[in-house]
Structure 1
Amino acid sequence: MEYAKLGRSGMRVSRLCLGTMNFGVDTEEREAFRILDAALDAGIQFIDTANGYGGEKSGLTEEILGRWFRQGGGRREKTVLATKVYGYMRDPLDGPNREAGLSAYKIRRHLEGSLRRLGTDHVELYIMHHVDRSVLWDEIWEAFEAARLQGKIGYVGSSNFAGWDLAVAQGEAKARGSMGIVAEQHKYNLLCRLPELEVLPAAQGLGIGVTVWAPLDAGLLGGNALKPGVGVRGAAQRERIEQVRGQLLAFSRFCAELGEREDTVALAWLLHQPAVTAPILGARTLEQFERSLRALEVKLAPDALAKLDEIFPGPGGEAPRAYAW
């Protein structure tokens, strides 16, 4: 396993992160435990979850992780744990504050709930699951600073932030003498390269690591999208497949030339991007997880990277060079 510092923090994390969104929904608890144990065995100590994961039972995924930690064997001590705050938790006790957001009330209350479900007294990384432009940064940073001083969180992360959101957040943090955000979790893959315009350059410039959700774009880059009868697809996904069918066919042919699976190449490509700290593996089964590890071994030559750029053109570089003279 390879490791890298998370942004400008001093904490090292595995170059692959285990995502847990399927646990308790598409993945039963016993299989989730097998995947978690296999991740630690493979050297993946970076585990990502969220308070809202669990389908109709918000918090279920955190509860599963808590039961896994309670098995002992150093599971919690070996883990760099990330969870999130922002969403609606279906908790009637939240009253008028039940709506999604980042108020100090919600940050404090929902952090306590996450720690209780996870069976731990702290998380290494506490992530804002979405930006909330209706709340002052003074309020947000004060809440995170209090949690850090209490030893309940180690670092603060963000998710789904625009480049200018990252810049504003870091400016406000610096004014308070705070470290600010150390990691941004963002959708980025061969089919979704818009972050190259603003978000990735901003993150690199501000010393923010990037973890990637949807690295296979909901399975489109996994090799099965063009196979009839594989999986249950809604109308929107079928339409999306038709829109990119030509690219997926070219990608499949190229991966065959390389002698690698499509999902392996898609993950390996992300590991070659300088801004990316770790793709998040959203495996539903142990087999899927174990297959993902191959991405660490694949080194893409410059001509292979150029061919992928040809199949999946990016936005043309960073802004404003991508669209201005």
Structure 2
Amino acid sequence: MEYTKLGRSGLQVSRLCLGTMNFGVSTEEKEAFAIMDAALDAGITFFDTANIYGWRENAGLTEEIIGRWFAQGENRRERTVLATKVYGDMHNNVDGPNHQPGLSSYKIRRHLEDSLRRLQTDHIELYQMHHVDRSVGWDELWNSFSHLQMQGKIGYVGASNFAGWDLAVAQGEAKARGLLGLVSEQHKYNLLTRLPELEVLPSAQAHGIGVIPWSPLDGGSLSGNIRRGDAGSRSGDQRWEKHWEQLEQYGKLCDELGETEDLVSLAWLLHQPAVTAPIIGVRTLEQFERSLRAVEIKLDESALKRIDEIFPGPGGEAPSAYAW
């Protein structure tokens, strides 16, 4: 496994991040335990979750599964760089009118305490805002997060689904307070979703923020299953119809490279300078074990150029993409 620093922090994380969104939903607890054990054995130390995983009335279930895995001992917690999130509705009547998605000092404190209890730990390495809440000022947000950092309950603060402008504002407000600010931005980014290259990635790089791509296979579109017919007929999904020709060309290129579409998609992300670690949200141990090879795949300039030709980006970085 390869490692890199998370943004401008001093924290070293693995180049692949284990996503746990399926744990307790489509992945049973026993299989989830096996996946997490295999991850540590393979050198993947970076685990990502969220308080809402498990979904609706089962929100928090995924964190509970991870907590029970930590409780098995053998330094599982100590060997893991743990990331979770706050923002969503936990469907808890105790939250009263504050149950709605959003951020506030009240909600951040309460939901962090609940996450710590479910995860059976006393601290989180990376605490992430699951979405921007522009109705709440940075005075409130940075005061809340810095207080939790001083208490030792969180190490670093990250963001998710922020625009490039939001990242810049967050860092400016942090700098004015003498704070480190954000160290990560978790964003949907893949070969079929390259719009973040226009502003989010340049902003992240300029402000020392590591990008953690979620949905690196675009919900399975880049897995190769569609071309092979493993995921149903071509006509079963209009999204796949739209990209069918691209996916056909991409499949042929991967055949020439001697690699599968899913692994090349992950490897391509690892070649992007702004990317820290794509999230591999596997459902089975077999899927996890397959994903490990992505770190070993090195794409030369010719392969990267052909990929760009098949999946053109948005046209460059802001503002040069649409101004001069």
With the length of structure 2 as denominator, give the TM-score of the two structures: 0.98
Aligned Cα root-mean-square deviation (Å):
1.3
SS at match of 1:64: helix
Paired residues for 1:58-137 under 5 Å: 58-137=59-138
Pair 1:220-2:185 in alignment:
no
Deviations 1:220-246 (A, max 9, x none): 00001234462699x9x7010001001
Distance 2:231 2:272 in 1: 30
Deviations 1:111-133 (A, max 9, x none): 00000000000000000000000
Check the 8 A contact 1:85/1:107 in 2, yes or no: yes
Check the 8 A contact 2:149/2:155 in 1, yes or no: yes
Query: Which letter maps to 1:12?
Result: Q
Paired residues for 1:109-258 under 5 Å: 109-228=110-229, 230=231, 238-258=237-257
Check the 8 A contact 1:226/1:241 in 2, yes or no: no
Distance 2:212 2:126 in 1: 12
With the length of structure 1 as denominator, give the TM-score of the two structures: 0.97
Q: How many aligned positions are there?
A: 323
Distance 2:19 2:124 in 1: 15
User: 1:313 maps to what in 2?
Assistant: 312
Distance 1:184 1:43 in 2: 22
Distance 2:2 2:91 in 1: 39
Distance 2:3 2:225 in 1: 30
Query: Which letter maps to 1:249?
Result: E
Check the 8 A contact 2:227/2:251 in 1, yes or no: no
Deviations 1:257-285 (A, max 9, x none): 11100001000000000000000000000
Query: Which letter maps to 1:3?
Result: Y
Paired residues for 1:43-58 under 5 Å: 43-56=43-56, 57-58=58-59
Deviations 1:85-104 (A, max 9, x none): 00000000000000001111
Query: Which letter maps to 2:265?
Result: A
Distance 2:116 2:26 in 1: 24
Moved more, 218-227 or 89-98: 218-227
**Tell me, which stretches of 5 or more residues in structure 1 are unaligned?**
none
Distance 1:41 1:173 in 2: 37
Check the 8 A contact 1:212/1:278 in 2, yes or no: yes
Distance 1:195 1:58 in 2: 29
Deviations 1:21-47 (A, max 9, x none): 000001000000000000000000000
SS at match of 1:84: strand
SS at match of 1:275: coil
Distance 1:323 1:222 in 2: 32
Distance 1:253 1:192 in 2: 20
Give percent identity, aligned residues only: 71
Distance 2:297 2:89 in 1: 40
Distance 1:289 1:232 in 2: 25
SS at match of 2:220: coil
**Superposition misfits of 4+ residues, deviation over 4 angstroms:** none
User: 1:23 maps to what in 2?
Assistant: 23
Deviations 1:28-73 (A, max 9, x none): 0000000000000000000000000013400000000000000000
